[in-house]
Every structure is written in C-alpha cells, then in structure tokens.
C-alpha cells in the first residue's frame, strides 16, 4: 500500500446563497465573488491535506458556463488532485441549485496550485496523496499534464 493521505480526507463542500450585494446590475453573481469562494474552498482542501499553512500559488483559467442569479445556491466541491514535492493541485467544481425548482447545474471548474509553507515562509515537503477511485486516479494523472503545461508557460 502506498503511504500518504487518501483524497477523501481533503474533500470539502461549501455553499453560499447569491445575494444582491454579490451581484451586478443584471442580477448575476460577480465573477470575482465566485473566484473568492473557489479560492476559499480550495484552501480548505489544501490545509486538510497538508495540516500546515498553505498559500495560493496559481489559479488556472476559470470559465463561467452559465450565470448564477440572485437567490440561487452556489455549491463548491473541492479536493486534492495530486501532490508534488511542496505543492499540490486542488480541483474545485462549482454547481448552482435553483432552490425553487431543485434544478442543479454545473457552473464552473477550476484548478489551483497551493504551496505548503512554514512559519518563516519557506516551502516544506508534503505527504503524498493516495488516489483510490477511478475518478481520483484520472484526476491524479491529468494533474501531472496540467503541471507540465504550467511549468512550460513559466519558462
């Protein structure tokens, strides 16, 4: 058996109601507000895995598939996809639920990179993550491809 923490230990679900203060004049959620919630959900999954201070290093593109309207419930689900040496990729999937009809739709997905840091801000090594289910294993493999792309863009 591989040493490490299972992905399920980092699973996190978070929900917010889209309120008028969170919306533009069209009555739809500000993109920046959704980004804030995505970062929050991802940071909790990262901290659950690392059990130390984590900081956001990058957020891959965030595409909005449909608008979120005032009064709708925004549901964010996050977990660790893969751990590298001192960084990890977190996946966040966002849904919207119409509380009057019960209809749930996918709104957005994002991948964030977090780094584990000590109190003095230096990077610290992370415990590996163990992908147990076929879906977790798929996300684990795809995370390496995304990492290579991010590293190539940095060069």
81-134 pLDDT tens trace: 999 999 999 999 999 999 999 999 999 999 999 999 999 999 999 999 999 999
Asked whether residue 138 carries a pLDDT value surpassing 80, the answer given is yes
Name the band, by pLDDT with cuts 50, 70 and 90, for residue 2: low
Alpha carbon distance 76, 63 (integer Å): 15
Beta bridge partner(s), residue 114: 56, 88
Alpha carbon distance 74, 68 (integer Å): 8
The pLDDT value given to residue 61 = 82
What average pLDDT is seen over the chain? Answer: 96
3-state SS record for 14-39:
EEEECCHHHECCCCEECHHHHHHHHH
The pLDDT value given to residue 58 = 94
Asked whether residue 62 carries a pLDDT value surpassing 90, the answer given is no
Mention the CATH class of domain 5-154. alpha beta
């Amino acid at each position: 058996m591989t040493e490490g923490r299972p992905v399920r230990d980092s699973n996190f679900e978070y929900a917010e109601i889209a309120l008028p203060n969170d919306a533009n004049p069209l009555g739809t959620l500000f993109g920046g507000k959704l980004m804030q919630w995505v970062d929050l959900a991802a940071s909790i999954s990262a901290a659950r895995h690392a059990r130390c201070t984590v900081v956001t290093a990058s957020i891959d593109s965030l595409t909005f598939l449909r608008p979120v309207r005032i009064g709708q419930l925004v549901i964010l689900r996050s977990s660790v996809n893969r751990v590298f040496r001192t960084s990890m990729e977190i996946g966040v999937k966002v849904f919207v639920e119409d509380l009057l009809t019960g209809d749930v739709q996918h709104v957005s997905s994002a991948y964030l990179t977090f780094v584990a840091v000590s109190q003095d801000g230096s990077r610290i090594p992370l415990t590996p993550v163990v992908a147990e289910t076929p879906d977790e294993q798929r996300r684990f493999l795809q995370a390496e491809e995304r990492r290579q792309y991010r590293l190539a863009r940095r060069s």
